[in-house]
Structure 1
Amino acid sequence: MAAHSLKLVCMVAILCMLVLNPMATAALDCKEVETKLSPCRIYLKSSGTTNKEECCQGVNGMAASAADHQQVCKCIQNRIGGRFVPKKIKTLVEALPQECGVKFKISATADCSK
């Protein structure tokens, strides 16, 4: 009976860990990056004058690990790298980490492996 209870407690504990932190081992995917950065569209369209706090919440929400930084870098490069994006917008995108107090680099030419 005690062994059955112990197994049940262990299973519940494992499930709680998975539910509470499902991304513990997986890096973000580009869909998640786009969702988290969606408030930044307003910030970028306003040339950095509107919605900075909401944008920074999304940026800061992706600053959990080196793997996340690398994935965010790759996703943003895919969005701004090969398309025509005005220089002013690219400059604002590249400045987002610094503006939001996050220590990683974003640019169309950044080495995303670092």
Structure 2
Amino acid sequence: MVVHSLKLACMVAMLCMLVLNPMATASLSCNDVETELDPCVVYLFSSRTKNKVECCKGVRALNERARDKTDRQEACQCIKNQLGGWHAWFITEEIKSLVEDLPQQCGVDFKISATANCNKIK
């Protein structure tokens, strides 16, 4: 019984440290970016005829999550990596143009580009 109470007390203490210490939270990862923007694949490859609502929900959610400079730079780099590298073989110039227009289509002030300098994002 004492061991159980001690374990419970330790778990509560660790939980309090996580809640009270904002530095303990993880920053935005490429996996997070991909998850939020996943609905946009259908939207983009259908030339903006399908899945706009779901795509824009993801774009807005990503914008909300990427509040600080580091998160915005990370999101930029993840998007840039998806538009470049071996993925570029499957992404036409038309799709890249649609991607760059995506934030405007969804009412978000965030630039997306395959040639963006992510280090300059504020």
The 3 A distance-change label for structure 1 pair 23 and 88 is farther
Unaligned runs of 5+ in 2: 1-8
For residues 23 and 99 of structure 1, the distance between their equivalents in structure 2, rounded to whole angstroms, comes to 34
Are residues 1:93 and 2:99 paired? yes
More helix by share: 2
Counterpart of 1:80 in structure 2 is 83
Aligned counterparts of 2:36 and 2:71: Cα–Cα separation in 1: 12
AA paired with 1:59? Answer: V
Q: Does 1:34 align with 2:34?
A: yes
Could you tell me whether the CA contact under 8 Å between 1:62 and 1:69 is conserved in 2? no
Q: 1:75 to 1:23 in 2, by over 3 A?
A: farther
Question: What is the identity percentage for the equivalent residue pairs of Structure 1 and Structure 2?
Answer: 51
State the 1:28 CA deviation. Answer: 1.3
1:71 equivalent to 2:74? Answer yes
The RMSD of aligned alpha carbons is: 2.7
CA distance in 1, matches of 2:23, 2:72: 14
Paired residues, number: 104
Structure 1: gaps of 5 or more residues: 1-6
> For 1:26, what is the secondary structure of its paired residue?
coil
